[in-house]
Amino acid sequence: MDFLDFFHMRSREAQHALEQARVRLYRVAYAWCHNAALADDLVQETLAKALRKSAQLRDPKARDAWLFTILANCYRDHFRKTREMDDIDEIEISHETTPESESSRTEIVGLVRATIARLPQAQRQVVTLVDLEGFSYVEVSQILEVPIGTVMSRLCRARNAMKAMLLPAMQQNPDMHRVIRRIK
């Protein structure tokens, strides 16, 4: 299906597909910035650009990766405009003072979100694209325009950091992982 059809088709399937794409883009955008309004703006901008550039999409099967590439570019542009002097790959845009962590520190969802928010920007993007969207390492390298080795090392560092931050926090709250046993 041509991408233009994706927008122009009136069928229920096309509307459903568009809504699904929006939901997925929003989830990932929110995981990157932890700001609902900004995430929504980024998704709007992504879909508007996708519509304008729909002729560029040669292979419909690559539509998902293509959409997320546009999202990554919109996200990068946003921070270029607002923080020109910082290295986009290293900044931490969120800290432990996020609303989630303040209000639901003891809850697992808030804890994991706060942990991801504390990861450096580049690591956060890789880990969310792999874990939330299930993209392959090759696809992530194309979306973020970095070598595949960089994807692997960022993912590795992100997960090590998450392990280091999450496990002590979970140990402080024993209710979070009570008796865990494995039977085989």
Residues that bind other proteins (CB under 8 A): 19, 26-28, 30-31, 36-37, 39-40, 43, 108-109, 112-113, 116, 127-128, 130-132, 136-137, 152-153, 155-156, 159-160, 162-163, 166, 175-184
Q: Are 123 and 169 contacting, i.e. CB atoms less than 8 angstroms apart?
A: no
Q: Are 66 and 139 contacting, i.e. CB atoms less than 8 angstroms apart?
A: no
Structure tokens at 79: 């921070």
Residue number, 8 or 87, with CB nearest to other proteins:
8
Between CA 23 and CA 21 the distance in angstroms is: 5
Residue number, 69 or 128, with CB nearest to other proteins:
128
CB of 43 to other proteins, least distance (A): 8
CB of 38 to other proteins, least distance (A): 9
Residue number, 71 or 116, with CB nearest to other proteins:
116
Q: Are 65 and 135 contacting, i.e. CB atoms less than 8 angstroms apart?
A: yes
CB of 126 to other proteins, least distance (A): 10
Between CA 25 and CA 44 the distance in angstroms is: 10
CB of 134 to other proteins, least distance (A): 9
Other CB atoms within 10 A of residue 163 CB: 11
